[in-house]
Structure 1
Amino acid sequence: MKLRRVRTGSGIGVQTLDPDGDWVAYPDAAALGGQVFDDAWLAAAADRQLERSAHLLPVQPLSFRDFMLYEQHNIDAARGLIRRFHPGLYRVTSLYERVTGRPVPQFKPKPLFYRQPIYYMSNAQSFVPTGTPVAVPDYTQALDFELEIGFVLAAPLFNAAPEEAAQAIGAFVVLNDFSARDVQRAEMLSGFGPQKSKHFASSMSDTAVTADEILPRIDSLTGSVALNGTVVSTVSSAGMQFSLGEVLAHASRSEPLYPGELFGTGTLPGGSGMETGHWLRPGDTLTLTLDGVGRLEHAIG
């Protein structure tokens, strides 16, 4: 079931897409994540979002944990980082890979990636919906995007088993984690992880799809990245290091999780400019799509 949130004359309403392709009123907002906000808070959030876009977020997240579940993304992104910022070293690593037929070992994730799901906490309050223009932060010369699968809880979890955890997912969205790559590198080396390189903006499709439609095909979703109307890469959800149930079970170890909390899979392979060499510039129009889930579009600059 595809859902979206809309501003109505009396407050905030939820709509569903019917078989005829029309949006109609849907009474059960819990399907979007189970979190009940007071009307004044929701109205204020909606007003902020509608200042810049005709769309609303389908759910206002309580928190945002972003995982890294794709080894191939890490390898390709590390290669792209070297290509952009260290061209001399890139020539050396390219020669190594041509000779050996293997990725440079340093391009692979750190050992913890293979032992448990890894993630960082980002800014849940800086999410904007599709259609919102996004300014380039004044401290970066390397603005990037990240096409991800987002999923929101509809039930609480604590010390959950993977099967129980998967059943607590309420809905899926298209997620984009904007990134200032030149700033991110220094912040990661600090040992504290991403800060200003990530917290300035993330975005979400205005539609959400209930878990019953997505979970059975979570490993076979497809999508695309387009810049200025031209598709520059395609993506697939295949190849996660851990299942979503395992991801949430890990997050819930001795830590309560609540309805309305948002999680990201991390970038799908091919879903960032750092991997493909297509960096964002002022004047660009970015379009990110997950087939059957939703679409994001932003004017940059």
Structure 2
Amino acid sequence: MKLRRTLVDGRLTLQALAPDGSWVPAQDPAVLGGTVFDSAWELATAHRHVDLSGHVLPFQPVSFRDFMLYEQHAIDAARGLVRRFHPAQARAAALVERLTRKPFPLFKPKGLFYRQPIYYMSNHLNFVPSGAPVAIPSYSSALDFELELGFVLRSPLYNATPQEALDAIGAFVVVNDFSARDVQRSEMATGLGPQKSKHFLSSMSVLAVSADEIVPRLDELSGSVSVNGSTVSTVFSRGMQWSIGDVLAHASRGEHLYPGELFATGTLPGGSGMETGRWLQPGDRLTLAIDQIGEISHSITDAQEPP
């Protein structure tokens, strides 16, 4: 079931796509976490998003945990980052890789990646819908994107099993984690994780798709990255280091999780500019799609402080 929110007669309304192609009132708002925020605040946010993009987020996240589940993305992204910022070292690493026919050791994720799911928490209040124009932050000259699979809880979790965790998912969305890579390099070196490099903006598809349609084919999803109408890369969901159930079970260990909390897989392999070498520039039109769910599209504008 495809879901969206829209403004109808000045009210924020959740709708479902009917078999005849029409949009009708959704019968179960709990699928996207239910009512959490103050209704006046939600309505004001919806109006602001419509003014920006013509669209409304399918739900307002209560929190946002972003995992890194793909080893191939981690390796290719590290390789691309070195290529951008340390070209001499990149050439040396490429020589080692040719000789050994293995990834350069420093490009592989740290050991904890292989022992448990890893994630960071970002700014859940700075999500915008597809269609919103995106200004490069004034403090960055290396704006990147990340095409990810997102999922929202419909039920609370605590010390859940992987199956219990999977059953608590309400719906899936396309998520884009914008990243200021030049800023991220120094922030990561502090050991505290990303801050201004990530928190300025994230985005989400206008549509959400109910979990019953996506869970049976979690390893069979496909998508694409396009810039200015040209396909930059094709991506697939297969190859996660940890299952979605494992991810949520880990997050719920000794910690209460609540309806409306948003999680993401981290970048699908090939889903970022670091990997493809296609960094965002003013005037670009970025489109990120997961075919079975929806897409996110943004125009990129000159660097400026947000209004």
- The 5 Å alignment of 1:50-199 reads 50-199=50-199
Q: Return the offset for 1:24.
A: 2.1
Structure 1 unmatched runs, 5+: none
Q: Return the offset for 1:37.
A: 3.5
Query: 2:241 — aligned with what?
Result: 241
The one-letter code matched in structure 1 to 2:91 is R
Q: Partners of 2:55 and 2:171 in 1: how far apart?
A: 18
Q: Return the offset for 1:238.
A: 0.3
Moved more, 10-19 or 176-185: 10-19
Q: 3-state DSSP class of the match of 2:52? A: coil
TM-score by length of 1: 0.98
Q: 1:70 to 1:35 in 2, by over 3 A?
A: farther
Q: 1:10 to 1:51 in 2, by over 3 A?
A: closer
Q: Partners of 2:50 and 2:34 in 1: how far apart?
A: 23
Per-residue CA deviations over 1:55-109 (Å, capped at 9, x if unaligned) read 1100100000000000000000000001100010111011111111110011000
Query: 1:226 — aligned with what?
Result: 226
CA RMSD, Structure 1 to Structure 2 (Å): 0.9
Q: 3-state DSSP class of the match of 2:53? A: coil
Q: 3-state DSSP class of the match of 1:52? A: helix
Q: Partners of 1:36 and 1:5 in 2: how far apart?
A: 15
Residue 284 in structure 1 maps to residue 284 in structure 2: yes
Check conservation: 1:128, 1:203, Cα contact below 8 A. Answer: yes
Q: 3-state DSSP class of the match of 1:103? A: coil
Q: Partners of 1:198 and 1:7 in 2: how far apart?
A: 29
Per-residue CA deviations over 1:40-60 (Å, capped at 9, x if unaligned) read 122111112112011110010
Per-residue CA deviations over 1:160-198 (Å, capped at 9, x if unaligned) read 111101100000000000000000011001111000000
Among all aligned residue pairs of Structure 1 and Structure 2, give the percentage whose two residues are the same amino acid: 67
Q: Return the offset for 1:10.
A: 4.5
Query: 1:212 — aligned with what?
Result: 212
Q: Return the offset for 1:39.
A: 2.4
Query: 1:44 — aligned with what?
Result: 44
The one-letter code matched in structure 1 to 2:189 is L
Per-residue CA deviations over 1:122-170 (Å, capped at 9, x if unaligned) read 0000000000000000111100000000000000001111110110000
TM-score by length of 2: 0.96
Q: Return the offset for 1:216.
A: 0.4
The one-letter code matched in structure 2 to 1:119 is Y
Query: 1:252 — aligned with what?
Result: 252
Count of residues in Structure 1 that have an aligned counterpart in Structure 2: 301
Query: 1:3 — aligned with what?
Result: 3
Check conservation: 1:65, 1:262, Cα contact below 8 A. Answer: yes
Query: 2:304 — aligned with what?
Result: none
Q: Partners of 2:296 and 2:75 in 1: how far apart?
A: 25
Query: 1:19 — aligned with what?
Result: 19
Q: Partners of 1:229 and 1:20 in 2: how far apart?
A: 30
The one-letter code matched in structure 1 to 2:234 is T
Q: Partners of 2:38 and 2:101 in 1: how far apart?
A: 57
